A and B are shown apart, each in its own frame.
Chain A
Amino acid sequence: MIEIKELTKRYEDGVLALDHVTYTIPPGEIFCLLGANGAGKTTTVNILLDFIRPTEGRASINGQDCNKFPLEAKKYVSYVSENVQLYGMFTARQNLRFFAELGGKKGLENKDLDNAMRLVGLPEKALTMRLKNFSKGMRQKLGIAIALIKDPPAILMDEPTSGLDPKSANEFLEQLRKLRERGKAILMTTHDIFRAKQIADRVGIMKQGRLVAVRERADFRHADLEEIYLTEMEAAENAP
């Protein structure tokens, strides 16, 4: 479970990146954060991973405060970034083994690693290929494989489908569905309203650091999510 309570971040230059944001992502839910650039989506992820400290509020993963006990909290989370950047000179297997070890997994054999990679749809020849020869889609899949093999209760994804071709994006979403079925609480930030509609159980719409709306799947399953998004943004702009 991912919990965010009254989370606020004001940078040293006075910019308010997050303004009292509160939401909870229970196990088995995909929560998509939508918003323009600078809305505070990545700042939220950065606070959850303790890359930066919040000015106010609390963020926790599986009940562990992300900023007071970051090492404890990070035991329960995996992170998939916009561009999964791993070690180009290493093979996919070597990369996976290293990050699995960092994730606390021990005694892994090659077949375990290979199974994880097959599960995310990486072709057989990719297993022993050097990462510098991977396409972006393949790297994103490997990022998912890292998350899979660590097997944490929560997963953070920062614009994971950005720059992926439609086929790779669809394959990626398929993997997300599988993760949801395994009970993972997934926070995904994205600009891609189309993908968010396809995959999200709930969407949060952010504007200038504020969470202006949270919509359930039932609200947008048969509606135009883009229209909802634009309406909410306009309403937030006109709000006093």
Chain B
Amino acid sequence: MLKPRISSGFLKKIPTAFGAITSREARNRARRSWKASAVRELLHIRHNLRLLRAIIAREFLHNLLNLRFMIGLVLCLVVTVACIIILSHDYRQELADYSLRVNLQEEFLGKYALEGWVGQLMPGQKPPERFRPLIIGIPTSESQDSFYDDPLPILFPRLDFLFIVTIVMSLLALLFSYDAVTGERERGTLRQMISNSVSRTTILLGKFLGGTASLLIPFLLALLAGVLCINLNPHLQWDGSAWAELGLLLTASLTFITLFYLLGLMVSTWSRYSAVSMLNCLLLWVLLVLVIPNVCPYVSAQLRRIPSIQATARRAEEVSRACRETWNQRRKELVEQFRSKYGGLFSKLEALDFGMIVYERGDAKKVQELAAADPQFKAMVDDLRVEVNRVAREWRQAEGKATGELWGDLYTKAAAQTRLAKNLAGISPLADYVYVARDLTGTGLRSLKYFEEFKGEYRRRFGEYRAKVTAAVVAAHKNEPSPPGGWFLDLRDHPRFVFQEESLKGKLGAALPYWGILILFNVVFFLGAFAGFVRYDVR
């Protein structure tokens, strides 16, 4: 039924023209014939391109004149602009919250930077993502806190660019394409079209290109309006890399939208009636967009079972209790050992009733006086301090190791479960697109991990700086007893935490595998549409 662009006769002539002929005359004749064939084939390709252009233009115009185009345009414009206005407002609020948190932290660091407390005052606040006016990021503990200020966004999640692409545009794409072939058959225009010398491949390609072009107009106009709104926001300054990310996000979105257009086209080529095609499209949409991404975490949880956080916390508490009992036992043994070793001298220490383990508490001053007066007493106290510290260290190490293994095991299993769920959900184009979009814009799980690593690196630098300052302060107060909480550290020159986004290369590297799957879906659906259309009964 289909005539290949390059005919088999043309291909057969190639070796004849160049290889197998020895006679010059025959060779020249074959070459002339081959040249004539090549010219014919080129004319044929040109003719097909002309037909393709005509079909693209018709499909484009036909969709433009259709009511669904107007509905799509209005819907896209209203939803996109409304989303961006609301999210931009949220972004400004989050930016203000962020600045407030950073300033408070600096203030605290200036006032209360005691040796023992600095760890809790360490800077490292996550700034709102620069794509926050377009895409809502993954909730963090700070945004959870804001639930009490304004619970409505949690109860009724706000719409964002991802929602527009994954739900609105995917449905619109199906609405544009579900009757691309069945509708033409029902109206009788397909018969009229195919009665001409035009291949089915050309018709299908023309329908795809023309239909997609008309579908993308509402989307691109809406996005343009949205980006204009964003740029009117003086708080947001996008640099070159942000624009590049936006470009990539747009390209990924186009891949996702064309995928659904091709899905509708494929279903249409395998259906006789538009109503049936519509139902099949809806069924597939629900499966690919709603069911698979939601079922995959459940399937993953069944395949890789992990204990709950509560169970792990309970188990960790049990382990800690067991370690504490061992510690108490060891402490009693130590007391007995010192009683028998030092006799009356140790009774003098016990009589002070300050609790023999924590020297800094109780009657520490009295002990210091006795130790200063009696070298034997001092030797015993030093001996005891060493022993108690050793036993306490062993206890803490054992407890830390046991509970650390428990929590570590939980985190490893949870990470494996998440990985499995993520990979399973990859069979849904929605999941693939969300991974790509979030990875590209730094609003996904990967960006959280990147932020933690960035913060870890900053904390290491901050730790080095703090150690340097602490050493200087301790050296300055060499002969003075340390005050409760330790010495005050002057950290005015501490390294500032300035979060830098991951490089575009890194983001793209993470997004490419899932982007590849989206492209593969496009290819598969086009081939499916092609297979359906080649055998389609146009009557």
Interface positions of A (Cβ within 8 A of B): 46, 49-52, 69-72, 74-75, 77-79, 81, 83-90, 94, 98-99, 101-104, 106, 150, 156
Contacts and interface: CB of A to CB of B under 8 A. Distances in A.
27 contacts: A50-B1, A51-B191, A51-B537, A51-B538, A52-B539, A69-B3, A70-B3, A72-B3, A72-B197, A78-B195, A79-B191, A81-B191, A85-B187, A85-B188, A85-B191, A85-B192, A86-B189, A89-B66, A98-B54, A99-B192, A99-B193, A99-B196, A101-B54, A102-B55, A102-B198, A103-B197, A104-B47
Interface string B168-197: 000000000000000000011101111111
B220 to A, nearest CB: 23
Contacts, number: 75
B504 to A, nearest CB: 44
Interface stretch (B57-65, B345-353, B378-386): B57-65
Nearest to A158: B191
A62 B54 CA distance: 26
Given A46-B539, A71-B197, A89-B66, A81 B192 contact: yes
B62 A90 contact: yes
Nearest to B190: A85
Given A69-B3, A89-B62, A104-B196, 12 more contacts: A51-B538, A52-B539, A71-B197, A72-B3, A81-B191, A86-B192, A90-B61, A90-B65, A98-B54, A99-B193, A101-B50, A106-B50
B65 A71 contact: no
The 7 closest A-B pairs by CB, nearest first: A85-B188, A79-B195, A101-B54, A102-B196, A74-B197, A89-B65, A75-B197
Nearest to B65: A89
A99 B62 CA distance: 14
Nearest to B539: A51
B199 interface: yes
Contacts of B188: 81, 83, 85
Contacts of B54: 98, 101-102
A49 B194 CA distance: 8
B51 interface: yes
Contacts of B192: 79, 81, 84-86, 99
Contacts of B537: 51-52
B204 to A, nearest CB: 15
A88 B186 CA distance: 13
B51 A102 contact: yes
A79 B192 CA distance: 7
Residue of B51, B65, B192, B195 ringed by the most chain A CB atoms within 10 A: B195
A77 B196 CA distance: 8
A194 B503 CA distance: 81
Interface string B40-53: 00000001001100
B409 to A, nearest CB: 63
B38 to A, nearest CB: 18
Contacts of B58: 87, 98
A117 B51 CA distance: 22
B497 to A, nearest CB: 60
A162 B61 CA distance: 31
Interface string B1-42: 101000000000000000000000000000000000000000
Interface string B109-130: 0000000000000000000000
Contacts of A85: 187-189, 191-192
Contacts of B61: 90, 94
Contacts of A89: 62, 65-66
A83 B197 CA distance: 21
B237 to A, nearest CB: 46
A84 B188 CA distance: 8
B1 A70 contact: yes
Nearest to A85: B188
Nearest to A101: B54
Given A46-B539, A50-B1, A69-B3, A102 B193 contact: yes
Contacts of B199: 71
Contacts of B187: 85, 88
A93 to B, nearest CB: 13
Contacts of B55: 102
A101 B195 contact: no
Nearest to B54: A101
Contacts of A87: 58, 62, 189
Interface string B395-408: 00000000000000
Nearest to B53: A101
A205 to B, nearest CB: 24
A95 to B, nearest CB: 9
A87 to B, nearest CB: 6
Contacts of A70: 1, 3
A70 B199 CA distance: 9
Interface in B444-471: none
A150 B65 CA distance: 26
Interface in B47-94: 47, 50-51, 54-55, 58, 61-62, 65-66
A74 B196 contact: yes
A207 to B, nearest CB: 22
Contacts of A50: 1
A81 B539 CA distance: 11
A69 B66 CA distance: 36
